[in-house]
Amino acid sequence: MPKDLYYSNQVETGNGCTVHYCLDAFNKRLRVDDYEGNIDSLFEFACGIAKQRALTKLFIKSRQEDWEIFLSKGCMLEGIYKGYFDGRDAYCMAYYLDLERRTSDYWIEEDHILRQVLELPFRPDRTQAADDVTLRMASPDDAGALAALYGRIFKTYPVPMHDPSYVGKAMLEGTIFYVIEQSGELVSSASAEINTIYRNAEMTDCATLPSHRGKGHMRLLLHALEEELAGRNIRCLYSLSRALSFGMNAVFRQMGYRYCGRLTKNCDIYDKFEDMNLWVKL
């Protein structure tokens, strides 16, 4: 599926504001990543686009001085991206246009999983890869193998990671992938989507073949990405993990990431809209 059927990043100016937003048709949401100018105009504009496109969720990465204004307009604070704006916090303000989208189906179960995760001890140490394992940065030549990996693991995914052309384009636009190979097979991968303006990166696209889980591959990948990002002076790392997944939340907890909120039915992943836990590391 072409990227523009999933999402498109746009910038519009008018009525005293400039809005940088992602029109995310696949996930039926509008995400405002950056803005300036009049908050009232910005909010009305974003709501208008969401209604026009029959989207069911709007969320805005608000600056600290504005989040209470969005709250007064009916938005909900779902999480805080600590240090997102080059050291300043971003407040995730959500506004729902559909009751089903607003209602979580698994919140209590996710609370139970989170309590278990938060009791885990920190394990910041970097382990060594096994002798038969190769850890390396991916190149555009790996796009086909990466797409096949994601296609095998995820029934649905928020972006078209099953499409080699999309994966290759993401690399060319600056997203870093690290992979693990075993016996010549690509078995695990993770990426960092970098925002150079605000010096943050989303740790994402974490995937391991079921037969290779429980071997510490994801910790190796995340450590490698963190080291690479530190060399590029990226100061805020964050990730959104499925709230129903004990394993991925446990990895981020043990690597020193801080739980900073839960985004209700944030994206279509696996086979349904799922709540996502926000983890941040500075």
pTM higher than the cut 0.75: yes
> What does the pLDDT look like over 140-193, one tens digit per residue?
999 999 999 999 999 899 999 999 999 999 999 999 999 999 999 999 999 999
Q: Where are the alpha helices (DSSP H) in 85-199?
A: 99-102, 107-118, 143-153, 164-172
Q: Please list the ranges in the chain whose pLDDT falls under 70.
A: 1-5
CATH architecture of 3-102: 3-Layer(aba) Sandwich (3.40)
* CATH hierarchy code of domain 107-281: 3.40.630.30
Q: Where in the chain is the domain with CATH 3.40.630.30?
A: 3-102, 107-281
CA-to-CA distance for 186 and 180, rounded, in angstroms?
A: 6
- Terminal alpha carbon distance of the chain: 35
Burial class (CB in 10 A: 0-12, 13-18, 19+), 188: buried
CA-to-CA distance for 169 and 189, rounded, in angstroms?
A: 17
Whole-number pLDDT of residue 1: 41
